[in-house]
Amino acid sequence: MVSTPYIINEIYDILQKSSPFELTLEALLALGLIWIVFYKRTTTKKLPVSEEDILARWTPEPLVAEVPPDHPALKTKVVRGPVGRMVNVNGKECINMATHNYLGLAEDEDIKQAAIKSLRKYGVGSCGPRGFYGTVDVHLELEERLAKFMQVEEAVVYSYAFSTIASAIPAYSKRGDLIFVDECVNFAIQKGLDASRSKIFYYKHNDMDDLERLLQKQQADDKRNPAKAKKTRRFLVAESIYMNTGEVCPLPRLVELRARYKLRLFLDESLSFGVLGDCGRGLIEHCNVDKTEVDLVSAGLEWSAATIGGFCAGSSFIVEHQRLSGLGYCFSASLPPLLTQAAISALDRFESSPRIFVELRERCRTVSDKLSHLKHFQARGDPLSPVKHLYLKHKHECWAHEKMLLDEISTECIDNGLAVVAAEYLEHMEKHCPRPSIRLTVNRLLSEKDIDDAFRILEHVSEKVLASAG
């Protein structure tokens, strides 16, 4: 049997040979063991609560929030008859500067007859996604025609303009990727960014210096972690003409930065398709930029083409990927054949009458020249853009109050024979919610007299509404 003095001597010898770190660790372990052995856990028993008491204290939130009786959404403006150069709103015949029928093709008789013929052949709708018996021969014809018109290898057609870019972005960019995007992009692009779950960098509107600053900062971060940088994809997203400002993006500078920093460039040509370029192909043609410098082009058919849907165009390698990964393509019912035929007929008109693009741009310049004469508004928008924004010169601190005044002006304009709208935004969902504005749109079929009358009405109504508002 080992004697007690021997054990004490052994312990003393171990302590002499141990480092301060080992001694500290052993002391902590000993204290922890003592705490576990002697600590007496005490638990407080909660008194049982009956289900009746819980239900009595529960106050459910209303399914629908309270809406004031004078809310604009409850005062629906009803349109009767066709929407063209003129539009009948609430029984009042108005000059139309509210809808996006830029080329006036919604009134084209040949397109109407082609759509009616298609309706009689195919019926009203396709009733299925493209991969599930929703592909009709006119869909394939439209994709082939769009690819030929845009001078690219392939195009893919979507059912809605909104779902086109909102589906295209997350089809390529995933979690961990980087997207550099203008702060004024439209809501459809914002939803595509959300769905991608990528890391988003917003640069100031059309500010290429700010974009380059962000790219340089990211380049410095990449040098600190080259292994991660090697696996990270980088995208650049822009609109040719911004819906929220009416301004044209500096595409040549974007292409330059894309090449320098090795980005993939996605360009939304929705507002410029059928507007810019000698043949109406958009900003790429207008700026004479090499098509291969833009990785993916998307555009809506709901503006200049005066139908429904959208498309993406580019190389077969890039576009074909969307047939398996584009959510709007895979899971939405395909574009109704009659509207597909209307788009084909619109392309026929694009190719046979390129003069219509010149006429539209002349109308856009005419409207731009007159904007500076408005007493109560300051304007924003490129002279060649078919979309212009009017902001009150006296900016109000309250966003809602300024929007209310513009709604009142637009309603009063309709009563006086001019259809205009205050731009609508989801204030609490937009990433950078724009300032309230009246959004004017230009139609190729508007005459000089129509434009003069429109500005006379707008000036008269704004004077009246703002004077009464104090």
Neighbours of 305 (CB within 10 A): 31
Would 390 be classed as within a structural domain? yes
Answer whether 170's CB lies under 8 Å from 192's CB. Answer: yes
Q: Are residues 262 and 393 in the same domain?
A: no
Would 43 be classed as within a structural domain? no
Q: Are residues 219 and 296 in the same domain?
A: yes
Would 58 be classed as within a structural domain? no
Would 22 be classed as within a structural domain? no
Q: Tell me, what's the pLDDT at 431?
A: 87
Q: Are residues 342 and 369 in the same domain?
A: no
- CA 374 to CA 385: how far, in whole Å? 18
Q: Are residues 336 and 235 in the same domain?
A: yes
- Of 352, 374, 395, which marks where a domain is finished? 352
Q: Tell me, what's the pLDDT at 229?
A: 86
Answer whether 282's CB lies under 8 Å from 312's CB. Answer: no
Q: Tell me, what's the pLDDT at 45?
A: 53
Total structural domains within the chain: 2
Q: Are residues 129 and 274 in the same domain?
A: yes
- Of 301, 322, 352, which marks where a domain is finished? 352
In tens, the pLDDT along 311-336 reads 999 999 888 999 888 888 888 889 99
- CA 462 to CA 376: how far, in whole Å? 7
By C-alpha distance, which of 269, 19, 52, 257 is closest to 161?
A: 269
- CA 415 to CA 110: how far, in whole Å? 33
**Structural domain containing residue 416:** 77-100+354-469
Q: What pTM, to 2 d.p., does this model score?
A: 0.83
- CA 205 to CA 51: how far, in whole Å? 55
**What is each CA distance from 365 to 229, 244, 384, 453, in whole angstroms?**
46, 19, 6, 17
Question: Could you list the pLDDT tens digit for every one of the 470 residues in the chain?
Answer: 556 666 667 666 766 767 777 778 878 888 888 877 776 554 455 556 677 788 788 888 888 878 888 776 777 888 998 899 999 999 999 999 999 999 999 999 999 999 999 999 998 888 888 888 889 999 999 999 999 999 999 999 999 999 999 999 999 999 999 999 999 999 999 999 999 999 999 999 999 999 999 999 999 998 898 888 888 999 999 999 999 999 999 999 999 999 999 999 999 999 999 999 999 999 999 999 999 999 999 999 999 999 999 999 999 988 899 988 888 888 888 999 999 999 999 999 999 999 999 999 999 999 999 998 999 999 999 999 999 999 999 888 888 889 999 999 999 999 999 999 999 998 888 888 899 999 999 999 999 999 999 999 999 999 999 888 76
Q: Tell me, what's the pLDDT at 31?
A: 83
Query: Going by DSSP bridges, is the β-strand pair 234-239/199-203 parallel, antiparallel, or unpaired?
Result: unpaired
Would 283 be classed as within a structural domain? yes
